[in-house]
């Protein structure tokens, strides 16, 4: 059903956390360049983060249910898109997507976006993926 005056548009956000380790290393750069670009984050031993992910949907508030999406369903989609592939994993070694794609927070956001698009029955309502890699480093991705 398309939105009408009786179906206002709302933004629904769910926040989840996951932990993972990684090393910033680009296959498109040589070792010297990798060290120059990524500095301490290029260390062979890697390092870990407690990521916070905010997923926002934008869609009509369905009259019958009063919801953009049932949060219980959103939880399941986020579990499949975020926790199952990445929680307590080494992103570079355990997640095939990052085999040749550097595991920056930008690319983690794109990975989550693509996973959610596959999981959700109506992917058009996915509005934004926001990730806090640390308290100070935040990435927003809107599929552009
Ligand atoms: N554009 C990006 N730049 C950097 C990313 C990234 O994902 N995208 N990631 C890193 C490192 O992985 C690392 O996570 C940065 O962490 P760190 O410097 O320890 O964290 P803070 O900036 O929060 O802490 P400071 O104490 O201020 O250094 C690097 N660059
Ligand atoms: Zn990092």
Percent of the chain with pLDDT over 70: 96
94's CB contacts (< 8 A; 6+ apart) are none
Closest by CA to 123, choosing from 30, 59, 32, is 59
pLDDT in tens, 47-100: 999 999 999 999 999 999 999 999 999 999 999 999 999 999 999 999 999 999
Q: Which of 45, 24, 44, 19 is nearest to 34 (CA)?
A: 24
Closest residue by CA, ligand 1 atom 2: 104
Residue 82 has what pLDDT? 98
| Residue 3 pLDDT > 60 | no
Q: Quick: pLDDT tens for 103-131.
A: 999 999 999 999 999 999 999 999 999 99
Q: Which residues contact 57 (CB under 8 A, 6 or more apart)?
A: 11, 12, 13, 68, 69, 74, 125, 126, 127
Determine the Cα–Cα distance for residues 14 and 37; give it in Å rounded to an integer.
Answer: 33
Active site residue 16: no
CATH topology of domain 9-21+50-141: Tetrahydropterin Synthase; Chain A (3.30.479)
Are 126 and 113 spatial neighbours (Cβ–Cβ below 8 Å)? yes
Residue ranges of domains in the chain: 9-21+50-141
In the three-class reduction of DSSP (H, G, I as helix; E, B as strand; rest coil), residue 2 is classed as: coil
Give the residue, out of 24, 26, 137, with the most ligand 1 atoms within 8 A of its beta carbon, to mutate for a pocket test. 137
pLDDT at 139 over 80: yes
Q: Say what the pTM is.
A: 0.95
């Amino acid at each position: 059903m398309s939105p009408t005056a009786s179906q206002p548009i709302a933004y629904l956000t769910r926040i989840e956390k996951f932990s993972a380790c990684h090393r910033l290393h680009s296959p498109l750069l040589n070792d010297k360049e990798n060290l120059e670009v990524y500095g301490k984050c290029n260390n062979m031993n890697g390092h870990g983060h407690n990521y916070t992910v905010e997923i926002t949907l934008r869609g009509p508030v369905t009259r019958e249910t009063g919801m953009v999406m049932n949060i219980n369903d959103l939880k399941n989609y986020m579990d499949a898109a975020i926790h199952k592939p990445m929680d307590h994993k080494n992103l570079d070694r355990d997640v095939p997507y990052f085999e040749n794609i550097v595991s920056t927070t930008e690319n983690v956001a794109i990975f989550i976006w693509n996973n959610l698009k596959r999981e959700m029955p109506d992917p058009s309502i996915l509005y934004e993926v926001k990730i806090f890699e640390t308290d100070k480093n935040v990435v927003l991705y809107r599929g552009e």
